[in-house]
Chain A
Amino acid sequence: MALFQIAEPGEAPAPHEHKLAVGIDLGTTNSLVATVRSGIAICLSDDQGRPLLPSVVRYHADGSTDVGYGAQTRQAVDPKNTIVSVKRFMGRGLKDISHVESMPYEFIEAPGMVKVKTLAGIKSPVEVSAEILKNLRDRAEAALGGELVGAVITVPAYFDDAQRQATKDAARLAGLNVLRLLNEPTAAAIAYGLDNSAEGVYAVYDLGGGTFDISILKLTKGVFEVMSTGGDSALGGDDFDHRIFCWVIEQGKLQPLSAQDARLLMMRCREAKEFLTNNPEAPISANLSTGEIVDLKLDVATFASIAQTLISKTLQPVKKALRDAGLRVEEIKGVVMVGGATRMPQVQKAVGDFFRQEPLTNLDPDKVVALGAATQANLLVGNKTGKDDWLLLDVIPLSLGLEMMGGLTEKVIPRNSTIPTARAQEFTTFKDGQTAMAIHVVQGERELVSDCRSLARFDLRGIPPMVAGAARIRVTFQVDADGLLSVSAREQTTGIESSVVVKPSYGLSDDEIAGMLKDSMTHAKDDAINRALKEAQVEAQRMLEATESALKEDPHLLNEAEAAKIVATIEKLRLAIAGDNRRVINLAMDDLGFETQEFAHRRMNQSVNRALAGRNVADIKIGEEA
């Protein structure tokens, strides 16, 4: 017998048409799945009532896997085959990953993404993530009593194309239909209903188990724009446990601990930290295998001083993110707290003091991202219609463009365009008889291709030979709702086409993105000068080649002196192009233009005469092509 949920007035679904959709927070430390039930977003728990699924996968020799708590407890026993924090490897090459040497895994460098050798064979991060997603999918289908129509999966705001594509691939491998990828801070903002509220700038402070992220979001007309991101990929709630652990060792004057004792004590420290959220004092007691007995009391004041350095460490990236966004603290309209570690009253107080306002904490900070994703998923499958039929949009973080002659970037889709989006631009050939065109897709804000990031290259071949500038090649950039790019080129007269889906081989880190954005600002003036120079060089080169080919074609129209003069002017221009003075190039171009005026005139007469020769007026129709 089917179980029913309550629908909005007038929106009860027809039988078998209720669409099951979930939001998934695929986290570094923990993952969650949520759905909207009777109009309210809730997290789905496992059969033991636990909403969190530790993002840990353990591989066995027979190819089977343990996912979640089961794998987490075996981590110390079987570190090589138990993959934790796989999110850090998604879409990453070996050289992108920090602290490789301290990880227990056998990494294998593979094109595009690093892989890990396990008992069950070589696994890519995509496969490992798919195991986590599969587990959550099974949980959701059991809880909802049917097959899922789709899922919204969250990713950090700074994830680049490669990391997003990897996440999408993992979902597909897990048998999930990805409705779209959603930025984590955006999801948190949705969970708090900020998308329905007034426009403004919001900060999302996300202190998870092992990572810290700060995002500054700007909401305008239902569009969340990520203004800046920052963080520390090696700072989280676990570090607070570790600090307490060190304090315990110091206070108890303990000898170096065995691995097992250390784990036990670490667990007690975590419990103490959590206990202090609602209590003035926490007991820490443990019987160690050495016979030593730990029996300490940690009070709030002591913990606050222990935690202080860590908390102030998070405020550095916050300040930087504000600076990058060009904002002052007073301009932040609201602060959203995400991640279990933000339960600590000390963190809430420090963040409140910094932003001079109470942060939003009334939703469970572990669940808030998943809840927002579920809300979005419910909307995307069409379970909610009517007057609140908004569709939330995201923006692309860096401009997308093409390489032009001379190594210049032509931006086709500017940064912060809302997605999904498609833009087309027409380009033409540079040389006479050119039959192929190399299309180089780049990402970044700088004017020179060499300062941007290369995303993809492909060729458009089979362009019919024409004079330079006659071919019309339409290049279309399309960014889907997940921020993934496909580029196609089409020669308009023949219809020949070529295209590429951008799957960049290596990712950009958030620091790199931030760096690239900063570069574009600091170098804006240099870039403008450089661009003008390059443009002049390209234009001059085009003029030079056109003149040379005309000389070759119609030498009989010039006497020797005239020809010599033009050749000399050409040489002068060639010299100017090789230099880096735009004024000199422009002057040389003016000269050549002047010297070839008469030549151009004669060529024009000649072609008119040719076209008319041997015909009478009656044969020549208006609009007829020569």
Chain B
Amino acid sequence: MAVTLSDKAAKHVANYLTKRGKGVGLRLGVRTSGCSGMAYKLEFVDEVSPEDMVFETNGVKVFVDAKSMPYLEGMELDYTREGLNEGFKFNNPNVKDQCGCGESFNV
């Protein structure tokens, strides 16, 4: 099992990284907080840690730390547009329920 990016998401990440001018990829993670227990983390990566697992979609590297891995197994990150709003969306098969806004979740 792996963590993947949709084509659209990969394109946007690659684009952001170019414009930012530095960084080796994208970090996905979870941490405990938020109204439903867990919250996602989505950050640029400047430094890779030895425990990171690395996945690659269309040339874009995704880094996930070992602790977060069980919660993100099989996840696909997508990029969507909802009305005027646009951004990344987590399609996570592990999630049982999430708070109304989806910013935090429970497994």
Residues of A within 8 A of B (CB): 1-12, 14-16, 37-40, 44-47, 139, 142-145
A15-B104, A39-B20, A142-B83 are contacts. A3–B88 as well, Cβ < 8 Å? Answer: yes
Q: List 21 A-B residue pairs with CB atoms under 8 Å apart, sorted by A's residue number.
A: A1-B102, A2-B102, A2-B103, A3-B80, A3-B82, A3-B87, A4-B88, A5-B88, A6-B26, A6-B88, A9-B44, A12-B41, A14-B34, A14-B39, A15-B101, A15-B103, A38-B16, A39-B20, A40-B16, A142-B84, A143-B83
The reply to whether A9 and B43 form a contact with Cβ atoms under 8 Å apart is yes
Taking CB atoms, residues of chain A closer than 8 Å to B99 are: 15
The reply to whether A7 and B44 form a contact with Cβ atoms under 8 Å apart is yes
The reply to whether B19 and A5 form a contact with Cβ atoms under 8 Å apart is no
The reply to whether B85 and A143 form a contact with Cβ atoms under 8 Å apart is yes
Taking CB atoms, residues of chain B closer than 8 Å to A44 are: 84
The reply to whether A142 and B34 form a contact with Cβ atoms under 8 Å apart is no
Bound form: Cα–Cα A142–B86 in Å: 10
The reply to whether A39 and B44 form a contact with Cβ atoms under 8 Å apart is yes
Taking CB atoms, residues of chain B closer than 8 Å to A46 are: 84
Taking CB atoms, residues of chain A closer than 8 Å to B40 are: 4, 12
Scan B47-59; emit 1 where CB is below 8 A from any A CB, else 0.
1000000000000
The reply to whether B39 and A6 form a contact with Cβ atoms under 8 Å apart is no
The reply to whether B103 and A139 form a contact with Cβ atoms under 8 Å apart is no
Q: B13 at the A/B interface (Cβ < 8 Å)?
A: yes
Q: B97 at the A/B interface (Cβ < 8 Å)?
A: no
| Nearest-Cβ distance from residue B85 to partner chain A, whole angstroms | 4
Residues of B within 8 A of A (CB): 12-13, 16, 19-20, 26-27, 29, 33-35, 39-47, 80, 82-90, 98-99, 101-104
The reply to whether B82 and A145 form a contact with Cβ atoms under 8 Å apart is yes
Q: Which of A16, A37, A47 contacts B103 (CB 8 A)?
A: A16
The reply to whether B42 and A3 form a contact with Cβ atoms under 8 Å apart is no
Taking CB atoms, residues of chain A closer than 8 Å to B80 are: 3
Bound form: Cα–Cα A12–B104 in Å: 13
Taking CB atoms, residues of chain A closer than 8 Å to B16 are: 6, 38-40
Q: Which 4 A-B pairs have the closest CB atoms?
A: A3-B87, A15-B34, A143-B84, A15-B103
Taking CB atoms, residues of chain A closer than 8 Å to B86 are: 3, 143
Bound form: Cα–Cα A180–B98 in Å: 36
| Nearest-Cβ distance from residue B18 to partner chain A, whole angstroms | 10
The reply to whether B44 and A3 form a contact with Cβ atoms under 8 Å apart is no
The reply to whether B47 and A9 form a contact with Cβ atoms under 8 Å apart is yes
| Nearest-Cβ distance from residue A232 to partner chain B, whole angstroms | 36
Least CB separation from A47: chain B residue: B84
Least CB separation from A46: chain B residue: B84
| Nearest-Cβ distance from residue A417 to partner chain B, whole angstroms | 35
| Nearest-Cβ distance from residue B102 to partner chain A, whole angstroms | 4
Taking CB atoms, residues of chain B closer than 8 Å to A47 are: 83-84
| Nearest-Cβ distance from residue A349 to partner chain B, whole angstroms | 29
| Nearest-Cβ distance from residue A605 to partner chain B, whole angstroms | 80
Least CB separation from A10: chain B residue: B43
Bound form: Cα–Cα A142–B46 in Å: 32
Q: Which of B35, B47, B90 contacts A15 (CB 8 A)?
A: B35
Query: Of residues A1, A11, A38, A144, which shows the largest number of chain B Cβ atoms within 10 Å of its Cβ?
Result: A38
A4-B40, A9-B27, A40-B20 are contacts. A139–B84 as well, Cβ < 8 Å? Answer: yes
Taking CB atoms, residues of chain A closer than 8 Å to B101 are: 1-2, 15-16
Bound form: Cα–Cα A5–B103 in Å: 12
Bound form: Cα–Cα A39–B35 in Å: 26
The reply to whether B39 and A5 form a contact with Cβ atoms under 8 Å apart is no
| Nearest-Cβ distance from residue B91 to partner chain A, whole angstroms | 9
The reply to whether B43 and A144 form a contact with Cβ atoms under 8 Å apart is no
Taking CB atoms, residues of chain A closer than 8 Å to B42 are: 4-7, 12
| Nearest-Cβ distance from residue B50 to partner chain A, whole angstroms | 16
Bound form: Cα–Cα A5–B43 in Å: 8
| Nearest-Cβ distance from residue A597 to partner chain B, whole angstroms | 78
Bound form: Cα–Cα A15–B87 in Å: 15
Bound form: Cα–Cα A45–B42 in Å: 25
The reply to whether B43 and A7 form a contact with Cβ atoms under 8 Å apart is yes
Least CB separation from A40: chain B residue: B19
Least CB separation from A138: chain B residue: B84
| Nearest-Cβ distance from residue B97 to partner chain A, whole angstroms | 12
Bound form: Cα–Cα A8–B103 in Å: 18
Bound form: Cα–Cα A47–B81 in Å: 12
| Nearest-Cβ distance from residue A37 to partner chain B, whole angstroms | 8
Taking CB atoms, residues of chain A closer than 8 Å to B20 are: 39-40
